């Protein structure tokens, strides 16, 4: 019986998006570009990302979109959520075109089922993309994080790239039989739909190895595309930046003013989202271990009377009040040092 439920859920999650794609695209004919002309014409690239906030994945999407746009191609970003008060400037000031669809669907149900809800929101976002594709066809669709709608998007005849930051099924522990049965169709769905991509991208050789070990039935070898950085936003000692960095917002400036002044010799930085799987406590434990080692050197000349002097650890990263885990994890119990929320 459990197997029947799993297979039925898998068929619904895979077949539903494909049916939607067929309904949206049936009867529409995408004009084919001549190969010689296509090589010279600008491309129309669509990015689709679940939540366009301020994180590493979002930074990658924004910087990649900006780079493609600077090369003379046209870009549009689709997302299920875009908070203009908490996003990258390029998505707010009109530099990048952003389309929001699916934000009306809940992010979770009774504090649970975050992934099924994210997939359903993504289906709505993908449907909006396909609807626009009927009017102005896309040449390339860049799918980020969620692979569930790739078969649906393949119906557009556009080339589909999927960027895998890390296999989702490795981010959730199987704490019991019910959890394992709940995750089984989702794990199968992740591998099956990822295989539909024309090209799979990963963020490092490490992730490429993990990808190969996790998705054993996918024969395609992922291509490593390192997260891009715009060097013009940073000043280096040996060169002048090509353009001045953007001024910080008043809110960030006020938060920075409240933070303790760093007068230490060595600064350690941990930059992650405030989630349990990021294991931020490891940085605190490592700092404690270093202080203990410095304070109990084998040579009396090496031992320090105040080993904590000369060291400071900053813990920073994404914090969203809409995400329950962020709120629960960022507590005095987990982080006893002063906390400055922006």
Mean per-residue pLDDT, 119-148 = 95
pLDDT band at residue 104, thresholds of 50, 70 and 90? very high
Buried b (16+ CB within 10 A) or exposed e, 154-188: bbbebbbbbbbbbbbbeeeeeeeeeeeebbbbbbb
**Residue with structure tokens 């809800």?**
117
* Dihedral sign computed on CA atoms, order 103, 108, 164, 122: negative
For the cut 50, the answer to whether the pLDDT of residue 308 exceeds it is yes
Average pLDDT of the chain is 78
Cα–Cα distances in angstroms (integers) from residue 314 to residues 217, 265, 271, 272, 287, in the given order: 42, 13, 8, 11, 11
Q: Rounded to two decimals, what is the model's pTM?
A: 0.71
Tell me if 48 sits within 8 A of 79, measured CB to CB. Answer: yes
- List, for residues 222-253, the tens digit of each pLDDT value: 999 998 777 776 665 455 545 555 555 555 56
330 or 248, higher pLDDT: 330
Mean per-residue pLDDT, 212-227 = 94
Mean per-residue pLDDT, 281-289 = 83
Predicted pLDDT of residue 41: 84
Alpha carbon 126 to its chain's center: 17
For the cut 80, the answer to whether the pLDDT of residue 38 exceeds it is no
Predicted pLDDT of residue 65: 95
- Which region among 93-97, 205-209, 213-217, 227-231 has the lowest average model confidence (pLDDT)? 227-231
For the cut 70, the answer to whether the pLDDT of residue 215 exceeds it is yes
Beta bridge partners of 78: 48, 99
- Which region among 92-96, 101-105, 233-237, 316-320 has the lowest average model confidence (pLDDT)? 233-237
Predicted pLDDT of residue 324: 65
**Beta strand 44-49 with 74-79: parallel, antiparallel or unpaired?**
parallel
Predicted pLDDT of residue 230: 72
Predicted pLDDT of residue 138: 96
Residue 246 to residue 257: CA distance in whole angstroms: 18
pLDDT band at residue 316, thresholds of 50, 70 and 90? confident
Predicted pLDDT of residue 1: 46
User: What share of the chain in percent tops pLDDT 90?
Assistant: 43
């Amino acid at each position: 019986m459990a197997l029947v439920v799993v297979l039925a859920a898998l068929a619904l999650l895979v077949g539903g998006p494909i049916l939607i794609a067929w309904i949206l695209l049936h009867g529409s004919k995408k004009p084919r570009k001549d190969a010689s002309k296509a090589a010279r014409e600008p491309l129309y690239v669509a990015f689709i990302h679940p939540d366009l906030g301020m994180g590493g994945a979002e930074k990658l999407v924004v910087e990649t979109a900006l780079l493609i746009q600077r090369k003379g191609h046209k870009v549009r970003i689709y997302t299920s959520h875009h908070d203009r008060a908490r996003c990258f400037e390029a998505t707010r000031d009109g530099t990048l075109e952003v389309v929001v669809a699916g934000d009306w669907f809940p992010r979770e149900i009774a504090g649970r089922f975050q992934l099924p809800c994210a997939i359903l929101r993504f289906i709505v976002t993908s449907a909006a993309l396909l609807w626009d594709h009927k009017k102005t066809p896309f040449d390339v669709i860049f799918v980020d994080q969620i692979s569930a709608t790739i078969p649906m998007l393949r119906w557009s005849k556009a080339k589909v790239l999927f960027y895998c930051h890390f296999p989702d099924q490795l981010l959730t522990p199987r704490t019991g039989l019910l959890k394992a049965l709940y995750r089984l169709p989702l794990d199968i769905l992740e591998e099956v739909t990822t295989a539909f991509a024309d090209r799979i991208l990963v963020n490092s050789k490490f992730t490429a190895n993990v990808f190969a070990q996790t998705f054993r039935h996918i024969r395609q070898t992922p291509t490593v595309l390192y997260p891009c950085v715009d060097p013009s936003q940073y000043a280096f000692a040996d060169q002048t930046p090509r353009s001045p960095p953007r001024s910080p917002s008043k809110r960030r400036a006020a938060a920075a003013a409240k933070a303790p002044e760093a007068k230490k010799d060595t600064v350690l930085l941990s930059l992650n989202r405030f989630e349990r799987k990021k294991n931020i406590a490891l940085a605190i434990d490592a700092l404690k271990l270093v202080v203990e080692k410095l304070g109990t050197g084998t040579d009396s000349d090496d031992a320090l009377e105040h080993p904590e002097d000369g060291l400071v650890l900053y813990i920073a990263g994404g914090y969203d009040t809409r995400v329950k885990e962020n709120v629960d994890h960022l507590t005095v119990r987990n982080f006893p040092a002063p906390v400055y929320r922006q």
